[in-house]
Structure formats: C-alpha cells, structure tokens
Amino acid sequence: MTQQQYDFDLFTIGGGSGGVRASRFAAQYGARVALAEKQYLGGTCVNVGCIPKKLLSYSAHYHDDLRDAAGFGWDIGDTRFDWKKLIANKDEEITRLNGIYGDLLSSAGVTTFDGHATIEDAHTVRVNGQRITARYILIATGGRPTLPGVPGEEFGIVSDDFFHMKELPDHAVVAGGGYIAVELAAILNGLGTKVTLVHRGSQLLRGMDADLGKFLAEEMRKKGIDVRCGTKFRSIQLKDDGTRQVHFENGETLDVNTVVFATGRHANTENMGLEQVGVKLTPTGGVEVDADFRTSIPSIFAVGDVINRIALTPVALAEGMVVASALFDNGSRKISYENIPTAVFSHPNVATVGITEEAARAKYGQIKVFKSDFKALKHTISGSKERVLMKLIVDEASDRVLGVHMIGPDAGEIIQGFAIALQSGATKTHFDMTIGIHPTIAEEFVTMRTPILQTV
Ligand code: NDP
C-alpha cells in the first residue's frame, strides 16, 4: 500500500499525555492522524494522577498554613474542612481539562474515536467494530496500579479510587513507600485523617538518594504520620461494620476505615492484540522499544508509561514529540534521559535532579558531598519543627555538579532551575560564583562551601 492508501498516517491508541502530544504534533506536521481513547482524555495525569493529586496537596497544605499562622499574629478561630466540596471543585476542573484536551485534538485536525482499540496487523486497528488502516500505529496506553497480592486486598482501594472517595476516612493505612504512597499519605494527613504508612522496605523513596528517604520519614513522623518501614501485610479482613482489619506479618493488627494500595504500577498491554501481531514486551511487562521508540514491528511505536522506562508526564510528552518529529518532520527533536528532574509532592516536598551519592561514588569514585539541614526562616516564629535538607554531589576531578537533592517547601519549583544548570554542565565553581537571593531557602544551594564527606 502506498501512503495514501492508508486511512490515516498515524493511529494513536491512548489519549493521555504521550498520545495526545504525539498526535497533535504529527497533525501539525501535516500528517492525517486519528486517536482512540476508551476512558477519558488526558489519561492518568489529568484524571487520576498529577493534577488532582496536586490540587488535593494544595488543600492539605492549608493545614500547616493555618497552624503556622498563629505565630505570625493571626487568630484563625475554628476551621472546618469539607471533602465533598474539594472533590466537586477538583472534578469541575478535571472536566474542564478533559474538554481542553478534546479541543486541542480537534483544532489540530486529529480524528478521535471514543472506544477501545485493538491492533489487528502491522497497519490495522479495530475500534468500535470499525477496521482502520494506518501507516504507523502508536501505542500510548499508559499504566495502572498494581495490587500486591495480599489476601483481602479487594477490600482496599488504589490511587484511581482515592480521588473519588465518598468520605474522608478517619483512619487509613497507606501501603507502599514510593511516590504515590508518600503523596497520598501526606494529603490524608493534612486533611485530618489518622495515617499509618506501611512500607515493606527499610526506607522510603527507594532509588532516590538515601538521605531523602530517611529525612522524609522523619519529617512525616513529625507531622503525625505513623511511618512503619520493614512491615509486611499478611491479610485484610472486612468486618461487619465496614472496618478493614489489617493483619501484619509481625502479628500486629490495625482497624482502619480505608486501605490505600500504592504498591507500584504496570503497563497497560492487555487485550490489544499485541501478542498476535508480535509486539514484544520487556521482562518487566512494558512494550519493548528501540532508541527511536519503534517496537519489534517496524510500523508500530510506543511511548510513555506503557514502555516502562520513566513514568513521568513530561517524559511521555518529550517521547511523543520525538516520535512525531521523526515520522513526519525532520527528526530534530531528541530526548535525553540524563538529568531528568523530578518532584514528589509529599509534605514537605522532595525534588531531585542528577544522580545519588551512592551512584556517583560508584561511577566517579572521588566525589564531594555538600549537605545542609536547617530550619527555614519562616519556621523560626511559626512554631513548626519542619526542617529543610539540601544536598549537592560533585565530581572531584571535573568539579561538575552531578546531583542536586532537596526536601523542603516548593522543592520542585527550586530544582527545575537547577536541572537547567546540570544539563548545561554546571560546576561547583559556577554554583559558588552565583549570587544568592536573600532571604530564600534556595540560596543555600549557592552558599554551601565545606564538603561534609570526602572519598579516600
Ligand atoms: P513506586 O515504584 O514509586 O513505588 C512503589 C512502592 O510500592 C515501593 O515502595 C515498593 O516497595 C512498594 N511495593 C511494590 N510491590 C509491593 C508489594 N508487593 N508489597 C508491598 N509493597 C510493594 O510506584 P508508585 O506506584 O508510587 O509510582 C509509580 C510511578 O509513577 C513512579 O515511579 C513515578 O515515576 C510516577 N509518579 C510520579 C509522581 C510525580 O512525579 N510526583 C507522582 C506519582 C507517581 P520497594 O521500594 O520495596 O520496591
């Protein structure tokens, strides 16, 4: 078939961040594009991820703000929190965003199908009973929460359900020690739920610099969260009154209203015909792609959470643009997986760019570590015991800054700028030459002078 014999130049399966971005860009480059989405436009990020999470996190932060206000002379009086109102306002905003995603696609000239698409062969998809041919197919079906395989886990909920809970629970167990677990635990705690965070590992945020996980656990405990590391579930039982009785392997039990499983996510690869067509999967269950996001079938591509590389919205957006540019433009768009900044919207926030102390030591040998742990100016009179952690990892030989890590207010806002510095190859000397903005928390990153630890 020649190009014009296909119904479309690109057929995208999945209307989340990666799929929508690739489709819009492809259409803007002149391609004839269609996209199928079976649930909601915007995918995880817009509907049950980044956006509702951040809105709820803002709400939870008011807890600290209201409490801290007294030290600044404010007598706030009695306060009440209305979960239903928050969820209704959040839903209204999400509906608005769904509409914006639809408008973006239609104004770019992308044809959308509201339905589940399956791949029939290298150039054919079926959606709503209709066979559609395309020169290229893009799989951007994202991922979904993984349950841990504990007896009685059906009595728990996952992040998708969290954002639609009818009531705010009085007491919740949050299971897991990764991004979602610490973010949802912080939201619940801020909104007034008694929270027990149960993590099987010895420290939170595995994969990040070890100091971050340790420091965050302490900060979360200070805010009243019962953080239990090294604790495993045995089972969950549903009592007659709706209480969930959680049994742990150490013999302890807890009666709670809600159990939230935040025990990882996996790629959405089922019921799409991938096996029949011969699209290979990786050992961890993601769609296998090469450096150009091409699957084992040359006309089929995949981006975003479904490839199981780095499950972050901005990464999916970048991958989508790379594919669109490679297929329909001059291929000038590239993605670098080096120095991808990321933030965890726990309370306090965590943000990081570059590599951990451990990874730097293994790769570079001789490194310098600068670390600062302090109380921010605001909390000198707020009464809060919250502290800030900042850490720089520097290669001794080249003076290059290899990692910038932080726990503290608006850490993501601060680290975004440092990501540009690292991407530009900044050295510790550049940091030292930079004038601080006073009085800020961020200025500490340009005033750290004495390494705390030197390799031998
Ligand atoms: P993570 O991989 O971050 O964390 C999963 C957690 O679940 C880990 O602590 C893991 O423990 C634990 N776990 C896994 N299996 C089991 C089990 N069987 N029993 C008990 N505990 C278990 O996944 P998340 O689901 O939190 O987030 C997925 C991804 O989504 C993140 O990696 C991130 O890329 C993205 N994300 C980004 C956000 C942001 O940018 N702010 C927010 C939310 C998600 P262990 O450490 O021992 O393996």
Peptide linkage before 52 cis (omega within 30 of 0): no
Domain presence at residue 336:
no
Judged by DSSP in three states, 70 sits in: helix
Q: 3: exposed, middle or buried (C-beta count within 10 Å: 0-12, 13-18, 19+)?
A: exposed
For the chain, give me the number of helices (H) and strands (E)?
A: 13, 23
Q: Ligand 1 centroid vs 246 CA: distance in angstroms?
A: 20
- The position carrying tokens 């699209």 is 279
Q: 7: exposed, middle or buried (C-beta count within 10 Å: 0-12, 13-18, 19+)?
A: middle
pTM: predicted TM-score of the whole model, two decimal places:
0.97
Q: Which of 220, 243, 263 is the last residue of a domain?
A: 263
Are 364 and 392 contained in the same domain? yes
- Tell me what pLDDT residue 1 has: 52
Domain presence at residue 36:
yes
Domain presence at residue 334:
no
Are 138 and 272 contained in the same domain? yes
- Indicate which residue's Cα is closest to atom 33 of ligand 1: 311
* Residues in the chain, total: 456
Q: Are strands 388-395 and 401-407 parallel, antiparallel or unpaired?
A: antiparallel
Give the number of the atom of ligand 1 that is nearest the alpha carbon of residue 181: 26
- Tell me what pLDDT residue 453 has: 60
Residue 368 corresponds to which amino acid? K
Is 205 a residue whose pLDDT tops 70?
yes
Residue 274 CB neighbour total at 10 angstroms: 23
CA distance 113 to 439: 53
Is 455 a residue whose pLDDT tops 90?
no
Are 253 and 281 contained in the same domain? no
Q: Ligand 1 centroid vs 264 CA: distance in angstroms?
A: 4
Over residues 396-454, the pLDDT tens digits come to 999 999 999 999 999 999 999 999 999 999 999 999 999 999 999 999 999 999 999 65
Q: Among 200, 260, 309, which is best to mutate for testing ligand 1, by the most ligand atoms less than 8 A from CB?
A: 200
> Is any ligand 1 atom within 6 A of the Cβ of residue 178?
yes
Are 30 and 166 contained in the same domain? no
Is 344 a residue whose pLDDT tops 80?
yes
Q: Give the largest CA-CA distance in the chain.
A: 75
Over residues 33-57, the pLDDT tens digits come to 999 999 999 999 999 999 999 999 9
- The position carrying tokens 């259409």 is 27
Residue 17 corresponds to which amino acid? S
Q: How many CA atoms lie within 13 A of 127 on its CB side?
A: 21
Over residues 59-111, the pLDDT tens digits come to 999 999 999 999 999 999 999 999 999 999 999 999 999 999 999 999 999 99
| CA nearest neighbour of 141 among 37, 45, 48 | 37
Judged by DSSP in three states, 182 sits in: helix
Question: What CATH number should be reported for the domain holding residue 182?
Answer: 3.50.50.60
Q: How many CA atoms lie within 13 A of 348 on its CB side?
A: 26
Over residues 301-326, the pLDDT tens digits come to 999 999 999 999 999 999 999 999 99
> What's the token pair of residue 89?
């306002």
Contacting residues for 185 by C-beta, under 8 A, at least 6 apart: 174, 195, 197, 220, 225, 346
- Tell me what pLDDT residue 343 has: 98
- Tell me how many domains the chain contains: 3
> Is any ligand 1 atom within 6 A of the Cβ of residue 190?
no
Are 214 and 117 contained in the same domain? no
> Is any ligand 1 atom within 6 A of the Cβ of residue 262?
yes
CA distance 219 to 346: 10
Over residues 250-306, the pLDDT tens digits come to 999 999 999 999 999 999 999 999 999 999 999 999 999 999 999 999 999 999 999
Q: In what order do the strands lie in the sheet with 253-256?
A: 233-238, 244-248, 253-256
> What's the token pair of residue 232?
């495993």
Q: How many CA atoms lie within 13 A of 77 on its CB side?
A: 0
Are 228 and 313 contained in the same domain? no
Share of the chain above pLDDT 70, in %: 98
| CA nearest neighbour of 54 among 217, 214, 163 | 163
> Is any ligand 1 atom within 6 A of the Cβ of residue 200?
yes
Give the number of the atom of ligand 1 that is nearest the alpha carbon of residue 312: 34
Domain presence at residue 15:
yes
Domain presence at residue 293:
yes
Active-site residue list: 438
Alpha helices in 192-312 (DSSP H): 210-222, 274-277
Q: Ligand 1 centroid vs 268 CA: distance in angstroms?
A: 16
- Indicate which residue's Cα is closest to atom 24 of ligand 1: 264
> Is any ligand 1 atom within 6 A of the Cβ of residue 342?
yes
Is 292 in contact with 326 (CB distance < 8 Å)?
yes
Q: Ligand 1 centroid vs 295 CA: distance in angstroms?
A: 26
Give the number of the atom of ligand 1 that is nearest the alpha carbon of residue 344: 41
Domain presence at residue 333:
no
Show the domain range for 212: 153-263
Judged by DSSP in three states, 35 sits in: strand
Q: How many CA atoms lie within 13 A of 199 on its CB side?
A: 25
> Is any ligand 1 atom within 6 A of the Cβ of residue 187?
no
- Tell me what pLDDT residue 456 has: 43
> Is any ligand 1 atom within 6 A of the Cβ of residue 201?
yes
Is 399 in contact with 429 (CB distance < 8 Å)?
yes
Contacting residues for 232 by C-beta, under 8 A, at least 6 apart: 200, 248, 249, 250
Domain presence at residue 252:
yes
* Average model confidence (pLDDT) across the chain: 97
Q: Ligand 1 centroid vs 91 CA: distance in angstroms?
A: 25
> Is any ligand 1 atom within 6 A of the Cβ of residue 312?
yes
Domain presence at residue 335:
no
- Indicate which residue's Cα is closest to atom 38 of ligand 1: 179
Is 15 in contact with 98 (CB distance < 8 Å)?
no
> What's the token pair of residue 212?
């971050």
> Is any ligand 1 atom within 6 A of the Cβ of residue 32?
no
